[in-house]
Amino acid sequence: MNHSSQEPMAVIETRLAHEVHRVATTLLAEAAVRPSVPLGTLARLRDFLVVNLRHHHETEDEDLWPQIVATAPATADALKELSAEHEHLDEALDRLAAVVLGDDADGVRAALHEAATAVRDTVHGHLAHEEPILFPALREHVTPEYWADFSQRVIATTPPVAGHLMIGFLDEVGTPEEVALMLAALPEPVQPLVPALRRQAADDLRTLRGVAA
């Protein structure tokens, strides 16, 4: 079945973003205690996650939720609950961001593992709650025109922190067709860099998983 052609871009992009968040949070929790993984590589994934998870839920709270509520007021209470969960996630992200990855001691990896596990569990639980609410709302209450504008705003305001990892994770969770759709929205100056970013991501992901090149 060609899933992509039957779903609006809002659902495709959101599903892929969520799958990236699931895979990336799981990987950080697992890689934190792998002695072969350099702290610098762990720091890149940690910083990528903190920035992208924060930005993702802030754009939902400030932009997407109000748009959905304006069209479908009955969704207001459910979306308010999701925003409360975002606040809980922010607290977990604060703890993850606070782990100092400057000294390769056992205590550092244990602290990172603990904080990363809390973020992983929070994200997985939140998405399990959010998706049954959000996907129907995206299908029924968000126009393709609004989504195209919203998606561009998200891309334009995402802080450029370890962005190569997003390409690497998208390659893992999406079909080639879906990934091409997502990457087509990148700014023109970035397009020629995609192959190099993809190679850089593949190197980092192999290292994080403890896989020999």
Query: Would you state the structure tokens that stand for residue 176, as one six-digit string?
Result: 């080639």
CB 79 within 8 A of CB 69: yes
Residue 140 CA to residue 102 CA, distance in Å, equals 48
pLDDT for 5 equals 52
Strands annotated E in the chain: none
Residue tagged 């190197």 (tokens): 203
Q: Can you tell me whether residue 51 is helix, strand or coil?
A: helix
Q: What is the pLDDT at residue 6?
A: 78
Looking at residue 164, its amino acid is: H
Could you say which residues of the chain have pLDDT below 50? 1-4
pTM for this structure?
0.90
